[in-house]
């Protein structure tokens, strides 16, 4: 794994750009991640929860019908394997991180958990972790996301969490994160902020990566069993980037494995209505870390757009920024319409209804295969991270794909 020159940095990206009041809390968290998370009792409890509660390891299985649709000859794409994070308890990868952080918060003596959420999956995961570990939970969520992710709002409430709608700004993930950080500044002594993505001030990007690396570690071992070798490429959707960095991290030092992150191109990058931060952003500071952002010449945030609430974010985790800068990973994008088409294709060919976030990774698959072939890699084996299931998106899918009524 690429090492940072300075603690909390990935190349020039990362750091800790926060109000002075938060520095002691971040230092406390850094020490706990170093001194508590690494102990045998913590690791045993965490991995027992992942095994017995979350249902890990998640399967890595062949998607033969989808592979044949992409390449019927098998000369370009030899194997397509799906890492099924949608089969985790709560329906997405977010539970891996939430359980680890809430368990750590409890060890630190914190008595209240707050979180932010876009698609609602991190909110559900945090509410779930708080329920099973016995801590109160409050989740900030933009009003727009509350409306388009109503099933997850209901799930959070049923799990005992308080959902706090955010009416400022674009009323999406960025604004929910702003409000969560304001809350944390005010209540830092007893409150733990459970960050959902591999973004934010140090040590959150590293902490979330380490907790989500269970995805890539399992995929690596499973690929050896399924293929007898490592895959040629790993593909994952990227908003803030937690599922992708979890899938990528264990492969970073394996130069033979290409890494592809897929951002949300919204209505098209050229339209300006997108969330393709690495593809079309510039360097700046947001939510406590330096990374690529969607901002204007004055450094003001440009509101992102994506059909997927979980990718509707104007920043990206700093390690992704460094992987892009160094060329170790390639970042491409897919539009709303391409993601919708991918949902339909995966459902009809593989019987899996994927989340709109996840659909962006599938939408880019043909382009990924083209790139691999141009690089001389024929009959490639590609692993796709199925980051979440799509039942939360049914209202959007019914509307956009015309699924209402009987025909």
Answer yes or no: 73 catalytic. Answer: no
Could you give phi then psi for residue 377, rounded to 5 degrees? -105, 95
Candidate list 30, 83, 85, 94, residue with the active-site label: 94
Using a CB cutoff of 8 Å and minimum separation of 24, what contacts does 188-193 make? 188/21, 188/22, 188/24, 188/25, 190/110, 190/111, 190/112, 191/110, 191/111, 191/112, 191/113, 191/114, 192/101, 192/102, 192/105, 192/108, 192/110, 192/112, 192/113, 192/114, 193/114, 193/115
CB atoms within 10 A of CB 86: 22
Whether a cis peptide bond, with omega within 30° of 0, leads into 57 is: yes
Residue 236 · residue 361 · CB < 8 Å = yes
How far apart, in whole angstroms, are the C-alpha atoms of residue 267 and residue 238? Answer: 17
Please identify which of the residues 30, 83, 85, 116 carries the catalytic annotation: 116
Label the pairing between strands 9-10 and 13-14: antiparallel
Question: Is residue 338 among the annotated active site residues?
Answer: no
Cβ-count burial 242-280 (b if 16+ within 10 Å, e if not): bbbbbbbbbbbeeeebbbbbbbbbbeebeeebbbbbbbb
Torsion of Cα atoms, 219 then 224 then 229 then 234, to 10°? -10
Catalytic site includes residue 197: no
d(CA 324, CA 336): 23
Of the residues 206, 338, 387, 392, which is catalytic? 387
Active-site residue set: 94, 116, 387
């Amino acid at each position: 794994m690429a090492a940072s020159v300075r603690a909390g940095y990935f190349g020039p990206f990362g750091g800790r750009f926060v109000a002075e009041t938060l520095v002691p809390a971040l230092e406390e968290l850094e020490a706990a991640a170093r001194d508590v998370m690494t102990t045998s009792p913590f690791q045993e409890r965490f991995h027992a929860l992942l095994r017995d509660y979350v249902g890990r390891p998640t399967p890595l299985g062949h998607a033969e019908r989808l592979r044949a649709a992409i390449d019927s000859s098998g000369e370009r794409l030899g194997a397509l394997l799906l890492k099924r994070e949608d089969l985790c308890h709560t329906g997405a990868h977010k539970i891996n991180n939430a359980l680890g952080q809430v368990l750590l918060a409890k060890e630190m003596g914190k008595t209240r958990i707050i979180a932010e959420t876009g698609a609602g999956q991190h909110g559900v995961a945090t509410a779930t972790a708080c329920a099973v570990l016995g801590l109160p939970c409050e989740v900030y969520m933009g009003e727009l996301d509350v409306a388009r992710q109503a099933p997850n709002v209901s799930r959070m409430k049923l799990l005992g969490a308080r959902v706090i709608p955010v009416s400022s700004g674009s009323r999406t993930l960025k604004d929910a994160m702003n409000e969560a950080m304001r809350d944390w500044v005010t209540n830092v002594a007893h409150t733990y902020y459970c960050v959902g993505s591999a973004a934010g001030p140090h040590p959150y990007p590293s902490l979330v990566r380490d907790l989500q690396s269970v995805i890539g570690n399992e995929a690596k071992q499973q690929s050896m069993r399924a293929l007898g070798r490592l895959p040629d490429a790993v593909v994952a959707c990227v908003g803030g980037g937690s599922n992708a960095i979890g899938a990528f991290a264990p492969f970073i030092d394996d130069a033979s494995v290409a890494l592809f992150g897929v951002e949300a191109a919204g209505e098209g990058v050229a339209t300006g209505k997108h969330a393709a931060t690495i593809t079309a952003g510039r360097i700046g500071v947001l939510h406590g870390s330096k990374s690529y952002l969607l901002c204007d010449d004055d450094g003001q945030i440009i509101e992102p757009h994506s059909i997927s609430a979980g990718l509707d974010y104007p920043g990206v985790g700093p390690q992704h920024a460094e992987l892009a800068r160094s060329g170790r990973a390639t970042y491409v994008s897919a539009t709303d319409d391409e993601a919708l088409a991918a949902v339909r294709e995966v459902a009809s060919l593989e019987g899996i209804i994927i989340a709109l976030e996840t659909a962006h990774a599938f939408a880019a698959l043909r382009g990924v295969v083209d790139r691999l072939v141009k690089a001389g890699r024929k009959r490639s084996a590609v692993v796709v991270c199925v980051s979440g299931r799509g039942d939360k998106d049914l209202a959007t899918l019914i509307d956009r794909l015309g699924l209402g009524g009987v025909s």
